[in-house]
Structure 1
Amino acid sequence: MIRKLFTNGRIFSPLDQGTPLAGELQGRVIHFPRGAMCVCNGLIEVVGNEEEVLKNPVCRRIDLEVDCRGYCVIPGFVDCHTHMCFVKRREEEFVQRLEGADYLEILRRGGGILSSVRTVREAPDAELHAMTRRHARAALQLGTTTLEIKSGYGLETASELRMLRIIGQLGREMPQDVVATFLGAHALPWEFTGNPDDYVDLVVHEMIPAVAKEGLARFCDVFCERGVFDAGQSRRILESARSWGLGLKIHADELHDVGGAALAADLRVTSAEHLLRSSEANIRAMARAGVTGVLLPATAYSMRKEYAPARRMVELGLPIAIATDCNPGTGYTESMPFVFGLSVLNMGLSIREALVASTLNAAYAVGLGRKVGSLEVGKQADFLLLDGDSPAILAYHAGVSPVVEVYKQGEPVYSC
């Protein structure tokens, strides 16, 4: 048993109530101007004002004391939506969009997701693993201690399973909690052009059972969008996934309001992601159903689209999480500090609301809210030291990372 005492930190942490924080509670954060934490075997035993923590009897038996040197201390980021398991970047498509090409137009030409599918199918395991590990390592250095990674660049059973196995391997190798999500319904592969229902049959009858039997994923996701999978097809996929014991997520209403948010509410999915075009009525419905809205401002930034109405969503009581959407086409970033800044400056979240969105609510969006996302007794000691007085430094000092040190279960895993 190893017990560590972390002292002299400006601690900021969401206060967990057992569910994602929403509405007036979206910014529920506690602050200890001179705080301390006692950590035993990677879990937080005591946290609070340093003077009070030092009075606790457990702090008389310390193996190691660490001075946080007055830095701001926050929970490690939880990046709850990424597509970082890919091989090749799509920089040329970024230029095409700058020149006026539409996302769905690029997809129809065989670009977009389908170009990533080609390169992933052709790549050896070692290459796919190395690129994914590179992205996860970059995320770690930027403060991400827990991340979700989706499949979805295979679009055939063998390739989807291979992606999920590599994601699982990464979770065993990296000092991060990695949550795997099956996204076989990410796009319609060229083998099924004009026959989307036949592909849905493959996902439902072959892919999902194979994923579940091998225990390769915690969640199933689907891209519910015009020209991809409609609400009826998305329902079939998600209901099948639920019957096999998988949690549910949905890419909803990114480019058009096609009823994705309504479906999310009806199925009471864990999270609905993007939500740039969701109606206010459907946002209310998701709030009533307990769905977490995962907003991806770096993608809106990259595509020069209007941002999701985060401020209004908070007012309507929808719990908000934020994530990078790290992918090779429409949002190539591993930086949660960048996303934090965008959510404050371009989506109207307060500093405290953005902190909750990037930690605790994001943890609930991947089913880990009882384990990570806040610095509270019984949770993992996953935290960051920031070179600033408060989490505001993440938005204020733009274009750089203020992350000085990263700790996972009380162990240092990165220092700049």
Structure 2
Amino acid sequence: MRFDKIWLNARLATLAPERPGLGVIEPGAVAAVDGRLAFVGSTADLPSAWDAAERIDVEGRWITPGLIDCHTHLVYGGDRAHEFELRLAGASYEEIARQGGGIVSTVTATRAASEDDLVRQSLPRLDCLISEGVTTVEIKSGYGLDLETEARMLRAARRLGRERSIEVVTSFLGAHALPPEANGDNDAYIDQVCGMVPLLAKEKLADAVDAFCEGIAFSPQQTARVFDAAKRAGLPVKLHADQLSNLHGARLAAEHGALSADHLEYTDEDGVATMARSGSVAVLLPGAYYVLRETQLPPVAALRRHRVPIAIATDCNPGTSPVTSLLLIMNMAATLFRLTVEEAIAGVS
């Protein structure tokens, strides 16, 4: 058999369920024909009389599955670099938000950007992820807070997937913050968000629906209304849960069969147990923990005890995690959250 290219003398992290741990094969080989995998396995199991146009000796380096960044806000306009100085001076996430900074300041810049602008500004961020081996990325909306801009963000995200050889999965995050024109009426705005869900689903712009359940965002009751709208539209849900306080967001997400509950710094044992029963994934985001200089760690021991699947992601966004390196996030997950190397690799695979 003739391959176009073969990588030899590798340590393969297959993560195959029938193998323990990372499912390591060593020495391993990976071969490709016409840009597609033709062989993955032990060197000893290569077909007899094989040949290859190009042979690469990786000298014992790791080869892993394509990496997955499962939580990003990669599409947005403008930047919020100045907020870093505010945090160094002692301003909290909540204080910056209440002063008109945070998410709402990005909303202003994103609303002013065209779809082409958003694609142009976002491509360098996406290229950074691709350069580190990311082959699948989730991209949320949430910086429009009106139907027109939310749809524009999701269209830009779809275009990014077409312009690069990467799978893009989109999430509608209309329930991210209260827009200025809502005049403090959270319930009325949630009515609007619930009305956006079927329209975006009909256009096939959103693969899932997300929300931010927090004291500075939306209550559990308001979040549940968004989830009900998603269910009616046939879309799965996920949740920014228990990042800054324990509103029992993890339990809420699990009770609605969420794909994942993300952040989880303040999640309690009951929330973890409910996630275990529902099969929801815990997505840990050490970049935001680091930038916000948080001290409350997510309940990693409880997640392990209840065997809740753990994923990690960049949370790439302009304010609280301006990070485009999933490899750095893996390091942070190990050093800050005490994940094992095996857990970190599995969490992005």
1:260-313 deviation line (CA, Å, top 9, x unaligned): 111111111111110010111111110111000000001101111133232331
SS at match of 2:324: coil
Q: How has the CA–CA distance of structure 1 residues 236 and 296 changed in structure 2, closer, same or farther, with 3 Å as cutoff?
A: same
SS at match of 1:32: strand
SS at match of 1:256: coil
2:312 maps to 322
Q: Distance in 1 between matches of 2:347 and 2:35?
A: 24
1:304-352 deviation line (CA, Å, top 9, x unaligned): 1133232331222110000000000001101111111111122111111
Q: Which runs of 5+ in 2 are unaligned?
A: none
Deviation of 1:3 after TM superposition, in Å, equals: 5.7
Select which of 19, 28, 31 maps to 2:24.
31
SS at match of 1:14: coil
Give the structure-1-normalised TM-score.
0.79
Q: Judge conservation of contact 2:77–2:121 (CA < 8 Å) in 1.
A: yes
1:160 maps to 150
Deviation of 1:245 after TM superposition, in Å, equals: 1.6
SS at match of 1:223: strand
Q: Work out whether 1:53 is the aligned partner of 2:43.
A: no
Deviation of 1:40 after TM superposition, in Å, equals: 4.4
Q: Distance in 2 between matches of 1:202 and 1:123?
A: 22
Q: How has the CA–CA distance of structure 1 residues 42 and 312 changed in structure 2, closer, same or farther, with 3 Å as cutoff?
A: farther
Q: Distance in 2 between matches of 1:82 and 1:188?
A: 20
Q: Judge conservation of contact 1:311–1:348 (CA < 8 Å) in 2.
A: no
Q: Judge conservation of contact 1:83–1:151 (CA < 8 Å) in 2.
A: yes
Q: Judge conservation of contact 1:142–1:334 (CA < 8 Å) in 2.
A: no
Q: Distance in 1 between matches of 2:54 and 2:42?
A: 16
Aligned-pair Cα RMSD in Å: 1.9
Deviation of 1:141 after TM superposition, in Å, equals: 1.4
SS at match of 1:273: strand
Q: Which of 327-336 and 37-46 deviates more?
A: 37-46
1:296 maps to 285
1:169 maps to 159
Q: Distance in 2 between matches of 1:338 and 1:65?
A: 31
2:211 maps to 222
Q: Judge conservation of contact 2:75–2:153 (CA < 8 Å) in 1.
A: yes
Q: Work out whether 1:120 is the aligned partner of 2:121.
A: no
Select which of 315, 332, 339 maps to 1:342.
332
Deviation of 1:142 after TM superposition, in Å, equals: 2.4
Amino acid in structure 1 at the alignment position of 2:329: V
Q: Work out whether 1:264 is the aligned partner of 2:253.
A: yes
Deviation of 1:137 after TM superposition, in Å, equals: 0.6
SS at match of 2:330: helix
1:12 maps to 13
SS at match of 1:247: coil
Q: Distance in 2 between matches of 1:225 and 1:66?
A: 53
SS at match of 2:307: coil
1:203-227 deviation line (CA, Å, top 9, x unaligned): 112x111111100011110001112
Q: Distance in 1 between matches of 2:152 and 2:76?
A: 12
Q: Which of 287-296 and 71-80 deviates more?
A: 71-80
Superposed counterparts of 1:218-257, under 5 Å:
218-257=207-246
Q: Judge conservation of contact 2:115–2:155 (CA < 8 Å) in 1.
A: no
SS at match of 2:46: helix
Q: Work out whether 1:287 is the aligned partner of 2:276.
A: yes
1:311 maps to 301
SS at match of 1:67: strand
Q: Which has the higher contact order (CA 8 A, sep 6+)?
A: 1
1:202 maps to 192
Q: Judge conservation of contact 1:264–1:272 (CA < 8 Å) in 2.
A: yes
Amino acid in structure 1 at the alignment position of 2:318: P
Q: Judge conservation of contact 2:220–2:247 (CA < 8 Å) in 1.
A: yes
Q: Distance in 1 between matches of 2:28 and 2:230?
A: 44
Deviation of 1:2 after TM superposition, in Å, equals: 7.7
Give the structure-2-normalised TM-score.
0.94
Q: Distance in 1 between matches of 2:212 and 2:17?
A: 30
1:118-166 deviation line (CA, Å, top 9, x unaligned): 0000123322111111110111112222111100000000000011001
The alignment covers a number of residue pairs equal to: 346
Q: How has the CA–CA distance of structure 1 residues 233 and 42 changed in structure 2, closer, same or farther, with 3 Å as cutoff?
A: farther
Q: Judge conservation of contact 2:267–2:299 (CA < 8 Å) in 1.
A: no
Amino acid in structure 1 at the alignment position of 2:197: I
Segments ≥4 residues shifted beyond 4 Å:
1-4, 40-43
Deviation of 1:6 after TM superposition, in Å, equals: 3.0
Q: Distance in 2 between matches of 1:311 and 1:130?
A: 41
Q: Distance in 2 between matches of 1:38 and 1:138?
A: 25
SS at match of 1:100: coil
Deviation of 1:45 after TM superposition, in Å, equals: 4.1
Q: Which runs of 5+ in 1 are unaligned?
A: 18-24, 360-416
Amino acid in structure 2 at the alignment position of 1:148: E
